[in-house]
Structure 1
Amino acid sequence: MRQALRTASFQLLPGLAILAGLFLLPLSYFFVVSFWQVRTFRLRPDATLEQYARVFTEYGSTLAWTLAIATLIATVTAAIAFAYAHYCRFRAGRFGDGLIFLSLVTLFGGYLAKIYMWKTILGGTGALNSALMALGLTSGPIPALLFSPFAVIVTLTHYCLPLAILPVYGALRGLDDTAIEAARDLGASGPRIFRDLILAQARGGLTAAFALTLVITAADYVTPLMVGGPSSNMIGLFIQSQFGNRLNSPLGSAMAFVTIACCGLIVLTLSLTLRALTRPRT
């Protein structure tokens, strides 16, 4: 028994070393730096909460807007991912795995390629405006399609969707068809089967999909910069500015950790909500 535990511990060492070196140590460093200050362009190791106070006083509205739009994108993406994964698992038959593979192939298109694609589609002379004018639905291009929150939502949803589909489909693959058939034989209604079996089984995958999309969206600054407008500024733009232009890593670190903490609270709220919805009822 002890030998098996030692072998398992030894096998975990490379993964733990990578986790510590690439994630835990950098995060720990920037967490400590978030309590420091910058004076005359030099870091001063002062233990203060001033940077965290500035996040809420100077960037509170931007943070709230970021969390709102990120939550919306994560909700829409997770819902679409669940619908697609549900179809592939229960309706597509032998073509299900192929459809999942096709969704993952889109990841090879590249992040910037998708941004430029939607920038072209939503532009004044893009495919969408051209189609609307050709159908006589509009007399001219709709400027609000590009450089707007709508463009940010569409672009980030498109980018995150393949990443969200995978955990949901993986969770649904663990549900045995015989359990559904047994529930039907026992007289369970369609909505109850969906809630107590399918949604309960997909709860972990849905939470993972939502969390992944939320974190990616809340931290992104390239998409708002390229397809968003002045009303689409998100906290990622200001974090990048603190590190890249203003050389104020304490404030940038504090903004990042506040964003992470807020995203964690949102994910926890979703997890508790899904648990309450899928709790067995008599």
Structure 2
Amino acid sequence: MKASRRPDGLVIRDGAMRIRGQWSVAWMMTPVAIIFTLLFILPSLNYFVLSFWRVAAFRVVPDFSFANYARALGQHLPVLLYTFKLALLTAVTTTVLGFLLAYVIRFRAGRLAPFLLLVTLLTLFGGYLMKVYAWKTILGNEGVINTALLGLGLIDQPITSLFYSPGAVVVTLVHFLLPFAVLPIFSSLRGVEEAEIESARDLGASGWRVVSDILVPRCQTGILAAFSLCFLAAVGDYVTPAIVGGTISMFGRIIESQFGQAFNAPLGAALSFVMLFASALVLITAGLLLRLWRPR
């Protein structure tokens, strides 16, 4: 065990200092661990156990069975796949747009960069429901777009496909989630110096080669964080499909109905964990695919 001598002459062993530092970190992390356990782990374990029970005469009966999971994977599997398709489309679109906006703020905006970043942050305080209802006003049969087109004489009847459609759900979610994609990607791009990009261009690299060989490998963490946030928020959302999706059935609405109208909490818990495990597989796959990205 190594020892070091302090200016006052006392001898302190490095091993003792290291152990004391580890105990200090452990004590600081204890409140966080307790809060995380009480608010997340224990409720999750409770619902995991509940997912194996059943409902009889509108009462939850403790009974270990895989019937809820069988029903979730059998009866509701098409809805799960459809939900994942919309969530993937939303996450990919938002991540790409977030990357472009983050690139503009980091390398192209110049003196306007702080202002654009501030605007991006301010959009987080706009309110989720306000944005959803704003798009309802824009895309509705009597909304801004249809009113403008009718006024210009370009159409004779409102375009009903704009509202209560998968496109309306995706557009609304992209608008809401875009700041959550911009911020982590911008944070990663801050580690890339402009001199690196200029050097690559001086060597003849095209814009795509700069993005592919420099920017994407250097900000993989930010891209994965942006994709994960957008995908998880989109796959579990049920408010947006209910307001702008109309009759579109998504997995979040089914889960909400089981806890509310159907009074079938065990099935709702099973549906939640099916979506959780499937989402984890998607994110793991996305992380592996992103790690395979190599400069050409």
TM-score w.r.t. the length of structure 2 is: 0.89
Q: Which residue of 2 aligns with 1:79?
A: 96
Q: Which residue of 2 aligns with 1:275?
A: 291
Q: State the alpha-carbon separation in 1 of the partners of residues 264 and 166 from structure 2.
A: 28
Q: How does 1:33-182 map to 2 (within 5 A)?
A: 33-182=50-199
| TM-superposed deviation, 1:280 | 4.5
Q: Which residue of 2 aligns with 1:237?
A: 253
Q: What are the ranges of 5 or more consecutive residues in structure 1 without an aligned counterpart?
A: none
Tell me, what secondary structure is at the counterpart of 1:38?
A: strand
2:102 alignment partner AA? A
Q: Write out per-residue CA displacement over residues 209-256 of structure 1, whole angstroms, 9 at most, x where no aligned residue.
A: 1111111111111111111122x1101111011111222111101111
Q: State the alpha-carbon separation in 2 of the partners of residues 165 and 21 from structure 1.
A: 32
1:13 alignment partner AA? T
Q: For the pair shown, which has the larger CA radius of gyration, 1 or 2?
A: 2
Q: Write out per-residue CA displacement over residues 173-209 of structure 1, whole angstroms, 9 at most, x where no aligned residue.
A: 1223333344455665543332222011221111111
Distance 1:74 1:40, change over 3 A: same
Q: State the alpha-carbon separation in 1 of the partners of residues 232 and 158 from structure 2.
A: 33
Q: State the alpha-carbon separation in 2 of the partners of residues 91 and 208 from structure 1.
A: 23
Q: State the alpha-carbon separation in 2 of the partners of residues 135 and 274 from structure 1.
A: 47
Q: Which residue of 2 aligns with 1:265?
A: 281
Q: What are the ranges of 5 or more consecutive residues in structure 2 without an aligned counterpart?
A: 1-17
Q: Which residue of 1 aligns with 2:236?
A: 219
Q: State the alpha-carbon separation in 2 of the partners of residues 121 and 54 from structure 1.
A: 38
Q: Bigger CA drift: 61-70 or 134-143?
A: 134-143
Q: Which residue of 2 aligns with 1:9?
A: 26
Q: Which residue of 1 aligns with 2:13?
A: none
Give the percent of matched residue pairs that are identical in Structure 1 and Structure 2.
44
Tell me, what secondary structure is at the counterpart of 1:226?
A: helix
Q: Over aligned residue pairs, what C-alpha RMSD do you find?
A: 1.7
2:242 alignment partner AA? L
Q: Which residue of 1 aligns with 2:39?
A: 22
Q: Write out per-residue CA displacement over residues 76-101 of structure 1, whole angstroms, 9 at most, x where no aligned residue.
A: 11111111001101111232122111
2:274 alignment partner AA? V
* Equivalenced residues, count: 279
1:256 alignment partner AA? S
Q: State the alpha-carbon separation in 2 of the partners of residues 186 and 146 from structure 1.
A: 49
